[in-house]
């Protein structure tokens, strides 16, 4: 039996391709239901250990990733793995960095860069992608 999330589960974003990716804030309790099989953690310092496979992307609060190349690699891997894995994207609060990363993953899934922030705000969190430079980062992610 394959374990999966649904778009009704807390924080789960359905991409146009049908892939599901969960966003969340690490300050919040782990949502009930299935645990991720792969996580990407967007923090300025190394994240706590988790019992599933995980990657850390250095990303200071209210900023953009420290390395554009690392971000493209890690978020590309998250998008690829979302086809078969339960992928979680998380930062401390679950809005700014997480929303920005989800919008970048939406771009990889075919959402036009100019529409990706609005896509994530409609389907994940109305306050996602908190700063002007995060919005600009999403618009230029595919460049």
The pLDDT of residue 32 is: 87
- Cα distance between residue 91 and residue 115, in whole Å: 22
Q: Which long-range contacts (CB under 8 A, 24 or more apart) does 82-85 make?
A: 82/15, 82/19, 82/20, 82/21, 83/19, 85/36, 85/37, 85/38
Instruction: Classify residue 41 by its DSSP letter.
Output: E
Reported confidence tier of residue 6, pLDDT bands at 50, 70, 90: confident
pLDDT at 21 over 60: yes
pLDDT at 86 over 60: yes
Average of per-residue pLDDT across 18-34: 94
Helices and strands per DSSP (H, E), number in the chain: 4, 5
The pTM of the full predicted model, rounded to 2 decimals, is 0.96
Q: Tell me the domain boundaries of the chain.
A: 16-139
Total residue length of the chain: 143
pLDDT at 61 over 70: yes
Angle at 6 between CA 5 and CA 8, to 5 degrees: 125
Tell me the pLDDT of the chain averaged across its residues. Answer: 95
φ, ψ dihedrals at 17, nearest 5°: -75, -10
Q: pLDDT exceeding 90 applies to what percent of the chain?
A: 90
Q: How far is CA 53 from CA 11, 70, 87, in A?
A: 19, 17, 10
Reported confidence tier of residue 4, pLDDT bands at 50, 70, 90: confident
Beta strands in 29-75 (DSSP E): 38-43, 53-58
- Cα distance between residue 46 and residue 18, in whole Å: 31
**CATH of 16-139 among 3.40.1350.10, 3.40.50.920, 3.90.190.10, 3.10.105.10:** 3.90.190.10
Reported confidence tier of residue 120, pLDDT bands at 50, 70, 90: very high
pLDDT digits (tens, 9 = 90+) for 66-75: 999 999 999 9
């Amino acid at each position: 039996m394959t374990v999966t999330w649904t778009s009704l589960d807390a924080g789960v974003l359905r991409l146009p391709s049908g892939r599901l990716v969960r966003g969340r804030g690490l300050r919040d309790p782990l949502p009930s239901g299935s645990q991720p099989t792969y996580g990407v953690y967007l923090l300025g310092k190394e994240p706590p250990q988790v019992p599933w496979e995980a990657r850390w992307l250095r990303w200071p609060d209210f900023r953009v990733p420290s390395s554009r190349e690392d971000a493209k690699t890690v978020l590309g891997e998250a998008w690829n793995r979302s086809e078969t894995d339960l992928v979680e994207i998380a930062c401390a609060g679950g809005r700014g960095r997480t929303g920005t990363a989800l919008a970048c993953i939406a771009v990889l899934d075919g959402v036009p860069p100019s529409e990706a922030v609005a896509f994530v705000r409609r389907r994940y969190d109305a306050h996602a992608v908190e700063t002007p430079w995060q919005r600009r980062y999403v618009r230029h992610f595919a460049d």
